[in-house]
Amino acid sequence: MTQARPLSLITGASAGIGAAFAHALAARGHNVVLTARRTDRLETLAAELRATHGIDATVLTNDLAEPHAVEQLCRALDERGLQVDWLINNAGYGVPGRFDENDWPVHADFLRVLITAPTELAWRLIGGMRQRGYGRIINVASLAGHVPGTAQHTLYAASKAYMIKFSQSLALENQALGVQVCALCPGFTRSEFHDVTGTRAMMNKLPDLMWQSAQAVVQEGIDAVERGEAVHVTGRVNRTIKALFKLMPDRLALKMSARQSKRYRAQDSST
C-alpha cells in the first residue's frame, strides 16, 4: 500500500508537546494518528487539524500503561491499513514524591509509559520503515537525561537517560537505510506537565528565559531529525546547562543539582 501523504503517529497527543507535534506535522501535509487516554481532547484536536489543514486525522484512544497497549495500537493501525512514517514517542508524565513512598504499581505504570511502550513501538514499526527506505522517529527525552538525577522524581531522569542512549543506538543501526532517529531533549516547556505533578506554583518562580513554548521545542525537534541528529537539546540556555554540567566533576554536579532542585519541588522533611 502506498500512502498519498506521510503518516505520523503521535503518542500523548492530547495536549502540550504532543498536540504541538500534531499541528506542526499536519501543517507539513502529514496525515496523523493521535493517541492518548482522553478521547474528547483527541477528537477536538483531530477535528481542528482536518478543518485547518485538510488532512486525515485518526483517533485511537489508548492507555500505554496497560501491558498490551502497544500490541493493540499496532493491530488497530494494521486493520486500517495505516503505515507509520513518523513515530513521535511523546507520552510521559512525572511521579512526584520519595521513591519508597509510592506504591510499586505506580512505578510500574510509569516505566511502561516512559520506557517499555516507546521501545516496543519503535520495535514494531521500524521494520516497515526500513523496508520502505524512509522513516523518522523522535523520542521525546529531556535535558534531565543529561544532568544528575534529583530527589523526589526518582525515575524521571533515569527514564530520559535511557531514551537518549536508546535513540543513539537506533540511529546508528538505521541511518544508512533512510530511517533517522532523534532523542529530543527539552528543558522547561510550557505545558500541563507541572499542573499534573502539582508543581506549577514552584515552577512559576523560574525566570522566563528558562522556558520554551511547546511549538518552539517541536520545530527544533523536526529540524533536528531531518538533519540526522541523534540527540538534540533544545534552546541555548539548555545547551549551556548541559555543557556546564558535563565539565563539572560528578560530586560537584550532584551537589549543585540537589541544591537547585530543592527550590522547585515540594519539600520532604526526610530528604
- 2 occurs within a structural domain: no
pLDDT tens digits along 159-209: 999 999 999 999 999 999 999 999 999 998 876 554 444 444 554 556 576
Question: Residue 64 and residue 126: Cα distance in Å, rounded?
Answer: 19
176-185, 228-237, 256-265, range with the lowest pLDDT:
256-265
Q: Which three cell numbers stand for residue 129?
A: 520503515
List active site positions: 156
pTM listed for this prediction: 0.89
- 12 occurs within a structural domain: yes
Domain boundaries, position 36: 7-264
State the pLDDT at residue 155.
Answer: 96
Asked if residue 6 lies in contact with residue 30, where contact means CB atoms within 8 angstroms, the answer is yes
pLDDT tens digits along 94-114: 999 999 999 999 999 999 999
User: Helix H segments across 28-155?
Assistant: 39-53, 69-79, 104-111, 117-132
What sign does the dihedral 246-252-253-256 (CA atoms) show? negative
- 129 occurs within a structural domain: yes
- 269 occurs within a structural domain: no
The answer for residues whose C-beta is within 8 angstroms of residue 196's C-beta and 6 or more apart is: 93, 94
- 120 occurs within a structural domain: yes
Question: Residue 155 and residue 19: Cα distance in Å, rounded?
Answer: 25
- 1 occurs within a structural domain: no
Provide the 3-class DSSP secondary structure of residue 140.
strand
pLDDT (mean) for 232-237: 95
The CATH number that applies at residue 206 is: 3.40.50.720
The answer for residues whose C-beta is within 8 angstroms of residue 213's C-beta and 6 or more apart is: 20, 189, 190
- If one counts the domains in the chain, the total is 1
pLDDT tens digits along 35-88: 999 999 999 999 999 999 999 999 999 999 999 999 999 999 999 999 999 999
